[in-house]
Amino acid sequence: MELIERLNILMESRQITEVVYDKLLKMIKIYPKECGIALTEENAAMMVTHIAQAIMRVEKGEKINEPDSLIIEQIKNDLQFIRMSQIYDKTCLLLDVHFPAEEKWFVLVHMGNLIHFDNKV
């Protein structure tokens, strides 16, 4: 499955709106230039799905619980934390979304996974 197919499934199952679909499609296309990482099914499937659902929660005003403090500390202590934060900020700009702190930490986990995957290739 490709990322666009994933978006189509999310859209067809009404888990995301057309606006969210368009934002994510733009993100997928622009990411290589803006963030230096091409998004693929292999490296970004979970990230794209989570971000799609996170945007929908933000739009609906739904809250989630913040991750455990140990997870937050692991994120902050990651050697790539600065780059993760930079990519997170660019992602929010691309998507025109502001995630609450609870969502931010989960999205940062995906940024870290993306960077670590990219460094392995």
66-110 tens-digit pLDDT: 999 999 999 999 999 999 999 999 999 999 999 999 999 999 999
Helix axes 101-120, 81-95, angle to 10 degrees: 120
The answer, yes or no, to whether residue 52 has pLDDT greater than 70, is yes
pLDDT of residue 64: 94
Query: Could you tell me which of 109, 115, 120, 116 has the C-alpha nearest to residue 46?
Result: 109
Instruction: Give the per-residue pLDDT at 10.
Output: 96
**Residue 5 pLDDT more than 70?**
yes
Write down the pLDDT at residue 118.
77
Q: What is the mean pLDDT of residues 42-55?
A: 95
Here the CATH number for the domain that contains residue 9 is 1.10.1790
pLDDT of 53 reads 95
Q: SS3 for 16?
A: coil
The reported pLDDT for the residue numbered 68 is 92
**Total tally of structural domains belonging to the chain:** 1
User: Residue 24: what pLDDT?
Assistant: 96
Task: Please check whether residue 10 is in contact with residue 91, taking contact to mean a CB–CB distance below 8 angstroms.
Answer: no
Q: What percent of the chain has pLDDT over 90?
A: 93
pLDDT of residue 19: 96
pLDDT tens-digit map of 30-44: 999 999 999 999 999
Looking at every residue in the chain, the average pLDDT score rounds to 93
- Domain range for 21 is 3-120
